[in-house]
A and B are shown apart, each in its own frame.
Chain A
Amino acid sequence: EVQVVESGGGLVKPGGSLRLSCAASGFIFSNAWMSWVRQAPGKGLEWVGRIKSTNEGGTTDYAAPVKGRFTVSRDDSKNTLYLQMNSLKTDDTAVYYCTTDLYLGGWYSRYWGQGTLVTVSS
């Protein structure tokens, strides 16, 4: 059974940093493209960023609001995805979801974690 479980959320002050983790199981993590999606309280879904599989270069892409502040990385030896968040703003307050991306006629987020809440507040 595929599982992705996020952790690391919490309360952080504006300008601070936080690192989220996503532990994956039930599939060959090293072959997977992975994404982060967030949802501010009472708002819609926002795609944050994506990392390709290591054997496809492990390259990353980001949404404009987080580019230069957030970094997606992976440790295939630990089957874990990370989201390093720096220079946090109050607008970054959201539930952050880790997703497993699959391709069949197009990319889609097939498996989602339960999410971890990040609150940026003084």
Chain B
Amino acid sequence: DIQMTQSPSSLSASVGDRVTITCRASQSIGSYLNWYQQKPGKAPKLLIYAASSLQSGVPSTFSGSGSGTDFTLTITSLQPEDFATYYCQQSYNTPRTFGQGTKVEIK
């Protein structure tokens, strides 16, 4: 199985900050990488698919980049509603493994 490792596991940031979350795959997965946002008690929400494609309706403050084994989710200006946990997921093959999550908290 492909292992997905996110860093950091958690971070504290302020409204307006630029935030970067990294996801590393244990083998090359091309651009088969998705990002999801999850708020407490809610289902995950798709943000980015195919490494860099922004899901319709998601603010343009979110962006994804990378290919191969190293990927990044960037939030250019953190908003109050962005405080949540973020997960990467590979869709190169099954099982479609997730990273362990990155919790973004208010500083």
Residues of A within 8 A of B (CB): 35, 37, 44-47, 50, 61-64, 97, 104-110, 112-115
Question: How many residues from B make CB contacts under 8 Å with A?
Answer: 28
Asked if B50 and A44 make an inter-chain contact with CB atoms under 8 angstroms apart, the answer reads no
Contacts of B95 in A (CB 8 A): 47, 61-64
Tell me, rounded to whole Å, the shortest Cβ–Cβ distance linking B44 to chain A.
6
Asked if B94 and A106 make an inter-chain contact with CB atoms under 8 angstroms apart, the answer reads no
Complex Cα–Cα for A37 and B33 (A): 16
Knowing A64-B95, A106-B49, A106-B50 touch, does A44 contact B87 (C-beta < 8 A)?
yes
Knowing A97-B43, A112-B43 touch, does A45 contact B101 (C-beta < 8 A)?
yes
Residues of B within 8 A of A (CB): 1, 31-34, 36, 38, 43-46, 49-51, 53, 55, 87, 89, 91-92, 94-101
Tell me, rounded to whole Å, the shortest Cβ–Cβ distance linking A80 to chain B.
19
Asked if A45 and B44 make an inter-chain contact with CB atoms under 8 angstroms apart, the answer reads yes
Tell me, rounded to whole Å, the shortest Cβ–Cβ distance linking A106 to chain B.
4
Asked if B43 and A114 make an inter-chain contact with CB atoms under 8 angstroms apart, the answer reads yes
25 pairs across A/B with beta carbons < 8 Å? A35-B96, A37-B44, A44-B98, A45-B44, A45-B89, A45-B101, A46-B98, A47-B94, A47-B97, A61-B95, A62-B95, A97-B44, A104-B50, A105-B49, A105-B50, A106-B32, A106-B34, A106-B50, A106-B91, A108-B50, A108-B89, A108-B91, A109-B44, A112-B44, A115-B43
